[in-house]
Amino acid sequence: MPNFFQTMKMRKIPKIQLISFLHFFLWSTYFTYFWSHSLWFNKMGDLVAGQINIWGDWAAHFTMGSFLANYPQAINHSPFIINAKFSYPFLTNLISAWLIKAQVPFFLTFVIPSFLGSIAIVICLYFFYKTVFKSTAIAILASNFFLLNGGIGFWYFVKNNFFQPNFFKTLSSPIEQYTRVDNLGIKWINVIDSMIIPQRAFNLGFPLALMALSLIFPLFFNKKKPSKKNVSLLTIAGLLIGLLPIIHTHSFLAVVIIISLWSLYLILAPIQLPTKNIFTWALQKNQFSIKQEAIKIWSHFYPLLIVLISSLMIATPLFLSFFYRQVSQHFFKYYPGWLAPEYHLNWLIFWWRNWTVFPLLAFVAWIYQLIKKKKHRLQIFLIWSPFFLLFALANLILFQPFAWDNTKIISWASLGFSGLNAWFIYQLWQKKYRYLWLKKMIRLLLITLIIFMTMSGINDVYYQLLTQKHNYIMYSTEEISLSNWVKANTDKQAIWLTGTNHNHWLFNLTGRQAVMTFPGWLWTHGYNYTQTEVDVRMMYQNPEISGQLFKKYNIDYIVVGPQEKADLGAQPQNFPVNASIIHQTQNYRIYQLSK
């Protein structure tokens, strides 16, 4: 009877299955380790963020999540500024709000969905590419191209440090990022660092959009007949697309562009209809074939119609009541060259520094596909043209006030470019060469090319794990204690006057309505906050003559701490007599205004 090892030898695991297992195992291990070290309490009891973009971005998500969990009718009110409507895709933070209400520890309600979203991105990337290329090897290579994007930064590091005595020590323990080098104009930051970790809306919206595209693709391009299963899959895809305006608006915009161009294949592909008048033709054939032709037309167009109807059923009311408010703020702006002019760089040099040969190689791969597969040129052209269009649009138009946020569109261009590059490299790898030496040389060049395109990304992905080397205190023990006191002792619907630093404990952690929060959020979300900012400063600097402003904003409580004094010039000694101290700690005072 064969033992275990003999059995395993008899059932030899195919190499590609082993590679697939390693791919999912390594990325799952990576994200498990990172998210388990992303937020922690130090020995002093302070909350520490293990990544700068969590410290920078998650304060806004804490504000939204706690607000949605505590404030009645929160979706109709902005947590960022008083007397305004919500203008941010809120579903990812609504999930955290539900977890808060379920008594899950506050910070875990944000970490758990982000961890699951990261794993979902790895899985959905693989299945999208597997659906398109029907190749496990291409799917794995394309997924890693997407996750390890980077520019030329690492090579500047090698050039400047190779002959230094501490080169290998620095290499094994990097002290900086190489997909963001501001002085070189390198701003297309690795997608894990810039999107998957900090951008919680992207973390949820991107995998759901990938899932929708993976369901749509085979039914758009493989001409499968209508069936209950196919109709159900298309309906699910449409519903997912319809939800994107409240999950991630940039993904919604990208998917609309992709689906629009994919739909042209259904329209432009030949439809066989009778050339003569259909009634004459039917009489000549001694049969009435209008029904048959209607079925033929339905079989051809049903994927588009079902996706369109099911998505519009949800997207239209959401767009009109939510997404439209952002568009109405004149977000779109002609901005040729994207960030290249800011660094006085030629557009080609800018992208060479930011993405090496990646976009150019994708274009070459696209042309190669069109030449190689002559019978499917229309299909190939329409499959990949949306991604080049997205890349062009991101280099011509701003989709929001903050220019860097165009990377949310460029990430979708990267989805297509990564697939094309992986396919092209795989074709060259598998190609039969006349001479063995030529085959070996080509494969060595391909390996070198892969390393060249991903090394900066690999460095930054590794850099994210070194959370003990780059961490940032978000809230002190005192501030966390204050937030707990406020939640236990004040009215949930009270109005608060606070400082406007992005990680202010009051509006981040308690779910209370502040008159005004961080100006950076207000600007990027399209709010008009100029007068409110003037009024907030006036109430802190001259409270004795600001009685009408306190009434205007119906303020119940005032926070005075280090930030209010340093940045807003708070003068608590001049507060009116109806402002009494109700709670005090070493650095903070909380005042209540009697009405």
Three-state secondary structure call for residue 134: coil
Residue at 533 is within a domain? yes
Q: What's the rounded Cα separation, in Å, for the pair 410 and 289?
A: 48
CATH number at residue 497: 3.40.50.12610
Helix 200-221 × helix 52-70 angle, to 10°:
90
Does any domain span residue 22? no
* CB-based contact 206:255 (threshold 8 Å): no
What span, in angstroms and rounded, lies between the C-alpha atoms of 253 and 89? 13
Residue 131 within a domain: no
16 in Cβ contact with 442 (< 8 Å): no
Cα gap 445→516, rounded to integer Å: 56
In a domain, 229, yes or no: yes
SS3 39: strand
Task: State which H helix or E strand residue 591 sits in.
Answer: strand 589-593
What is the DSSP secondary-structure string of 433-482?
Answer: -SSHHHHHHHHHHHHHHHHHHHHHHHHHHHHTT-TTTS-EEEE-HHHHHH
| 527, 544 Cβ separation under 8 angstroms | no
Contacts of 583 (CB under 8 A, 6+ apart): 482, 485, 489, 589, 590
**138 closest CA partner among 373, 357, 369:** 369
Domain stop point among 276, 305, 329? 329
Phi and psi, residue 577, nearest 5°: -65, -20
- Distance of CA 123 to CAs 130, 240, 416, 510, Å? 11, 17, 16, 35
Task: In whole angstroms, give the CA distance from residue 393 to residue 384.
Answer: 15
Q: How far is CA 456 from CA 247, 359, 360, 460, in A?
A: 30, 16, 18, 6
Residues near 556 by beta carbon (within 8 Å), at least 6 away in sequence: 490, 491, 494, 495, 496, 592, 593, 595
Residues making up the chain, counted from first to last: 595
Other C-beta atoms lying within 10 Å of the C-beta of residue 26: 12
Asked whether residue 202 is assigned to any structural domain, the reply reads no
Alpha-carbon span 415 to 206, nearest angstrom: 11
The pLDDT, as a whole number, for residue 289 is 55
Within 13 Å of residue 356, how many CA atoms lie on the same side as its CB?
24
Write down the pLDDT at residue 3.
55
In a domain, 309, yes or no: yes
Q: Decide: 514 and 507 in contact? Cβ < 8 Å.
A: yes
- Which of 329, 350, 383 is where one domain is finished? 329
With H, G, I as helix, E, B as strand and everything else as coil, classify residue 589: strand
What range does the domain containing 549 cover? 476-593
Q: The tokens 């997924």 sit on which residue?
A: 143
* Domain termination residue (choose one: 311, 329, 347): 329
Ramachandran region of residue 569, left (φ > 0), alpha (ψ -120 to 50) or beta? left
Neighbours of 118 (CB within 10 A): 21
Instruction: Please tell me whether residue 9 adopts helix, strand or coil conformation.
Output: helix
Please count the CA atoms within 13 angstroms of the CA of 27 that sit on its side-chain side. 25
The number of domains in the chain is 2
**Sign, CA torsion 379/380/381/387:** positive
Residue 442 and residue 436: Cα distance in Å, rounded? 10
Strands (E), 65-188: none
Give the pLDDT of the chain (595 residues) as one tens digit per residue: 455 444 444 455 678 899 999 999 999 999 999 999 999 999 999 999 999 999 999 999 999 999 999 987 777 889 999 998 887 889 999 999 999 999 999 999 999 999 999 999 999 999 999 999 999 999 999 999 999 999 999 988 888 777 777 877 777 778 788 999 999 999 999 999 999 999 999 999 999 999 999 999 998 888 777 788 988 999 999 999 999 999 999 999 999 999 999 999 888 865 444 444 444 544 454 444 555 555 566 666 888 889 999 999 998 888 777 655 544 445 688 999 999 999 999 999 999 999 999 999 999 999 999 999 888 899 999 999 999 999 999 999 998 888 999 999 999 999 999 999 999 999 999 999 889 999 999 999 999 999 999 999 999 999 999 988 889 999 999 999 999 999 999 999 999 999 999 999 999 999 999 999 999 999 988 889 999 999 999 999 999 988 999 999 999 999 999 999 999 999 988 888 889 999 999 999 999 998 7
353 in any annotated domain: no
Give the residue carrying structure tokens 């991107």. Answer: 206
Closest listed residue to residue 365, CA positions, set 383, 351, 348, 352: 383
Q: Is residue 282 part of a domain?
A: yes
pTM of the model: 0.91
DSSP letter for each residue of 269-295: S-----SS-HHHHHHHTTS--HHHHHH
DSSP string, 90-103: -HHHHHHHHHHHTT
Say how many C-beta atoms besides its own lie within 10 A of residue 238's C-beta.
26
